Amino acid sequence: MSENARWYVVHTYSGYENKVAATIQKTVENRGLQELIQDVMIPMEKVTEIRDNRTEVVERKVFPGYVLVKMVMNDETWHVVRNIRGVTSFVGPGSKPVPLSDREVAALLGTKREVQVDYSVGDTVRVVDGPLEGFICTVEEISLEKNRVKVTVSMFGRETSVELELEQVAVDN
């Protein structure tokens, strides 16, 4: 069951994020739902503030009013989370929760996904995603650290240098 767990976004009253997260964790513990509701998180970021000529590093909520919950979605888990004081709804159309994509979760959690690149500088590649989808390009530069590739594409009779994400291009067969 745990492999079906996905991240969902729960909307809360502003300022209730910590209380909602703590209550979800307590309810999971009390009801023995660890297999179904696996993790609760409030995305935070460190921000440097300058006050009274002093520099302070403080933590702020990235999305005030929202809590992330990694859970297996079913009627029971939906009711458990939805009926917690301070929760207004799940994020999604109507009352249907929509899970976050793997890419969104990686961006939120700051996790690095290792990308296997099967092309090198000078290779001809095809853009497989984004506004330039379908264009044939030549690889100029690859930056694995930044998850970027610089390519040259011919548009309107001119060579143009474009920077894309590594996943947006593939070897042209």
Q: What is the pLDDT of residues 81-100, one digit of tens each?
A: 999 999 999 998 877 899 98
Which tokens in the block code for residue 120? Answer: 């090198």
Q: How confident is the model at residue 148 (pLDDT cuts 50, 70, 90)?
A: confident
CA gyration radius for the chain? 22
Residue 40, phi-psi category: left (phi > 0), alpha (psi -120 to 50), beta (remainder): beta
Which tokens in the block code for residue 52? Answer: 């009274």
Residue 52, phi-psi category: left (phi > 0), alpha (psi -120 to 50), beta (remainder): left
Closest to 85 in 3D by CA, of 106, 109, 73, 67: 67
Domain with CATH 3.30.70.940 in the chain: 2-109
CATH, domain range 2-109: 3.30.70.940
Q: What is the pLDDT of residues 6-35, one digit of tens each?
A: 999 999 998 999 999 999 999 999 999 999
Instruction: Give me the DSSP letters along 93-146.
Output: STT---PPPHHHHHHHHTPPPP------TT-EEEE-SSTTTT-EEEEEEEETTT
Q: Average pLDDT for residues 139-166, to the nearest whole number?
A: 89
- Does the pTM surpass 0.85? The reply is no
Q: Average pLDDT for residues 118-140, to the nearest whole number?
A: 90
Domain 124-171: CATH class, spelled out: mainly beta
**159 compared with 96, residue with greater pLDDT:** 159
For the four alpha carbons of 104, 108, 114 and 119, in that order, the dihedral sign comes to: positive
For residue 6, give every residue at least 6 positions away whose Cβ sits within 8 Å of its Cβ, in sequence order, or none.
70, 71, 72, 73, 99, 100
